[in-house]
Structure 1
Amino acid sequence: MLVETGATGARLDPTPATSNGTPTRRLYTGSKLERARTIADLRAMAHCRLPAFAAEYLEGGAEDEATLARNFAALASYRLLPRALVDVSHRDQSVSLFGRSAPLPFAIAPTGLNALFWRKADVLLARAAAQARIPFVQSTMSNDPMEEVAAIPGLRHWWQLYVFGERAIREALIRRADEAGCEALVVTIDAQFYGDREWEQRRFTHPGKLTIGSILESALHLHWIATTLTGGMPSFANAVDYVPKERRGFYESAFWIRANMDQSLDWEEMARLRRLWPRKFLIKGLLNINDVERAARIEADGVILSNHGGRQLDWTLSGLDTLPEARRRFGGLTLIVDGGVRRGTDVLKALALGADAVLVGRATLYGLSAAGEKGVERAIDILREEIDRDLGLLGAQSIKELGPDFLAR
């Protein structure tokens, strides 16, 4: 860990458990998955395996990355207030989502271009989710067909919709999701423009063309090449058929979809999409409490309070900032939050503030990038173990007991 130099010239240790850099503390970066004790270990393993441009795509935020930082700061602004002498010999971390019990209080968030990290990544994420009996939200910009993912036994399959192109495209994707039996439709509304992820762009000489240095550095990552690129370049399997034929190459299709996001998307169109979808309907990307009210007004079943992992508009709030007021005003609405979740204590804070569940995105991608499907399973297991232990230490027997009285600012 880094040791910083303060204004007086004194050495400032990053934790009170170290002095002048001792004892030395290092995250695990080897290949034995069972030695990954935390999500941070999986992250370190992922960084060793991924080429720099892929790690940057995974990690980066927009512009000054202030929104990305706010996600962590919002979580850090709360302290846990445990109860003493509570019988916690039996603990229950199950939650109810849309009338169905889930054994864990989190789901896997929608993320695009996962095949950059491991071949058949969306299938691997979904398999791990099915094994854990938690929902998997598959992105429009995923690389495996929704029908293939939907066929995974036992999966709670939610479909995330990007609204791009003509109306016929979104309607076709909604029909496909319906026919595939997806439990819920999640419409993302904060990506009508592509966030300015400057550090990611510096890896390219121009869109779609890596720098020579990035190409050479990538060639050194033989395990990544063997497990990711042996099947050739991925495609956006669920969206590419709606792209003009001359633009269906990997980068060309991504740029076409990005350029054709529906910038006129409004609440009237959202209400129309609500009427088209026969099952649970969620809106993802809300931060303004007035927008949560509008979502309730068009009879959305839930909202996901999210700033897109800090990758879109910079200098926004975290979804966690909006959560308490949203819960106070809209008690009957399913509220899910994401952003910066790396620890079991992060999950418990969000639940205590009123979330029905939490989405994890990068945390499971770290596991995927480190070791494929087994890595995703390990990420889920780490969070499960931490939540279970932290519930006991907090003096709570179940998730249902959590509330603001377990927290202090």
Structure 2
Amino acid sequence: MREGKKIEFNSKYPSIEDLRKKARTRVPKFAMEYLDGGCNEDINLHKNTSKIREVELSPYYLSKHTASIMKTELFGHTYDAPFGIAPVGLQGLMWPKAPEILAKAAFDHNIPFILSTVTTTSIERAAEITEGNAWFQLYHPTEDRLRDDIIKRAEAARCPVLVILCDVPTFGFRPRDIRNGLAMPPKMSLNNILQILKRPQWAAETLINGQPNFETLKPYMPKNLDLRQLGKFMDETFSGRLNEEKIKPIRDMWKGKLVLKGVANEADAEKAVRLGLDGIIVSNHGGRQLDAGESSIKPLTRIAEKYGDQITVMMDSGLRSGPDIARTLAKGAEFTFMGRSFMYGVSALGKKGGDHTISLLKTQLQQVMEQVCCENVKDFPNHLIK
């Protein structure tokens, strides 16, 4: 079992909101809005967090309490904390080398890191940084040949967990991204160029490290694509709509742990169990896909109660703090993931952002555990005020 890094964080930024505010001063507006925004009117984006924070915990002050242990076993690996880094697309757009920074921090702190198909480092590079411990999230390709090749690369890179995504059957309607030219195909407007000039450190880092690209997809992309051709390539190459018939051959091919991300109701959870999947991540894509949907904490509660003894139930979307992690575990999740929180950290503090954010969340969660007299993360449901 690996021992994670010592917990230390910059006291100038003792909350995720502090990191978010700092990030806004360092990242061009179009990139920050891509990270920060939901879809349509952002209703589900805000509801995700607000509904989590309606969950209340009961402290048992007079109980015999010896220690609070955050270590959590998941898929045969004991992690140092019950949270990990969720997959985020185009991470290098927000801050150069962001996925590499976060992969290294996750490995050093012994928590899971999930690499997105459409982020800005490759499967092989993430595997190198994490010594074969990075998880990989697959956007489903339209061609079986491409699907099989990407899965074989993940297997060769020794990824222990393959995550398949089911909540992007179509791209979310995101007004900010449309205004900023970040729809498909993307375009760079004069306004975006002016925003870059106002963020000289971001511009310098991007110049040094190069324009962000879909590194995992490079072997399959024609060379020298212009922006319009890139949009056409993405549309033709990927079909986000999953069904049971598309999942079955992946289950047959993948010998490691297989997780379905984007589950939002009991019916899909039941299908995941029936298909022999190892885990599900209850998620609404951070409120970026369906503004009229439920906040993720609501279906989590029902799914964990009904299927928690048959499949590993995890959650992302809306978590922003150690108390949020505690609340989500109390409602039945075995593990949690966050995307934006870690991207705020890297955008605010660069190379130190990953370490800082993980240390901050560990510190906050430890305080909650000790305050409510919870000795093990599996005991959080015993502290839930129903």
Both proteins in one fold, TM over 0.5: yes
Q: Assess, with a 3 A threshold, how the Cα gap between structure 1 residues 264 and 209 changes in structure 2: closer, same or farther.
A: closer
Tell me, in whole angstroms, the C-alpha distance in 1 between the residues paired with 2:288 and 2:268.
20
Give the 5 Å matches for 1:183-262. Answer: 183-204=160-181, 207-245=185-223, 248-249=225-226, 252-254=229-231, 256-262=233-239
Secondary structure of the corresponding residue to residue 152 of structure 1? helix
Distance 1:262 1:204 in 2: 22
Report the CA distance between 1:259 and its aligned residue. 5.0
Residues in 1 aligned to 2:356 and 2:160: alpha-carbon distance in whole angstroms: 25
Match of 2:258 among 264, 277, 281: 281
> 1:195–1:342: structure 2 CA closer, same or farther, 3 Å change rule?
same
Amino acid at match of 1:214: N
Aligned position for 2:3: none
Residues 121, 47 of structure 1: CA spacing in aligned structure 2 closer, same or farther, 3 A cutoff? same
Q: Is the 8 A contact 2:48 2:295 kept in 1?
A: yes
For the 8 Å contact 1:194–1:258, the answer to whether it is kept is: no
| Contact map agreement 1:184 1:279 (CA 8 A) in 2 | yes
Report if the CA contact (8 A) 2:38-2:174 is conserved. yes
CA distance in 1, matches of 2:132, 2:103: 7
**RMSD over equivalenced CA pairs, Å:** 1.9
1:109-128 to 2 correspondences below 5 Å: 109-128=86-105
Aligned counterparts, 1:94-109, within 5 A? 94-109=71-86
The answer on whether the counterparts of 1:286 and 1:292 sit within 8 Å (CA) in structure 2 is: yes
Cα distance, 1:217 vs structure 2: 2.1
Question: How big is each residue's C-alpha offset from its partner over 1:11-42, in whole Å with a ceiling of 9 and x where there is no partner?
Answer: xxxxxxxxxxxxxxxxxxxxx94411111111
TM-aligned CA deviation for residue 178 of structure 1: 0.4
Q: Which has the larger radius of gyration?
A: 1
Q: What is the CA distance between 1:326 and its match in structure 2?
A: 1.4
- The structure 1 residue matched to 2:339, chosen from 357, 361, 369, is 361
Give 5+ residue unaligned stretches, structure 2. 1-8
Please identify, of 187-196 and 80-89, the stretch whose mean Cα deviation from structure 2 is larger. Answer: 80-89
- Segments ≥4 residues shifted beyond 6 Å: none
Work out the number of aligned pairs and report it.
Answer: 376
Partner of 2:330: 352
Q: Secondary structure at the match of 1:208?
A: coil
CA distance in 2, matches of 1:296, 1:90: 35
Q: Is the 8 A contact 2:168 2:240 kept in 1?
A: no
Matched, 1:313 2:290: yes
Deviation per residue, 1:34-88 (Å, 9 max, x gap): 4111111111111110110011011011111122122112202212222222344
* Partner Cα distance (1:241, 1:407) in 2: 49
Once the two structures are superposed, residues 183-223 of structure 1 have per-residue CA deviations (whole angstroms, 9 ceiling, x without a partner) of: 00000111121111111211239842233223212211101
The answer to whether the 8 Å contact 1:234/1:250 transfers is no
Q: 1:244 and 1:122, CA in 2 relative to 1: closer, same or farther beyond 3 A? A: same
Q: Percent identity?
A: 33
Letter in 1 for 2:258: F
Structure 1: 5+ residue stretches without partners: 1-31
Q: Which residue of 1 aligns with 2:246?
A: 269
SS in 2 for 1:195: coil
For residues 395 and 294 of structure 1, the distance between their equivalents in structure 2, rounded to whole angstroms, comes to: 37
Asked if residue 82 in structure 1 is aligned to residue 59 in structure 2, the reply is yes
Distance 1:75 1:122 in 2: 27
Distance 1:218 1:46 in 2: 14
> Scaled by the length of structure 1, what TM-score is found?
0.87
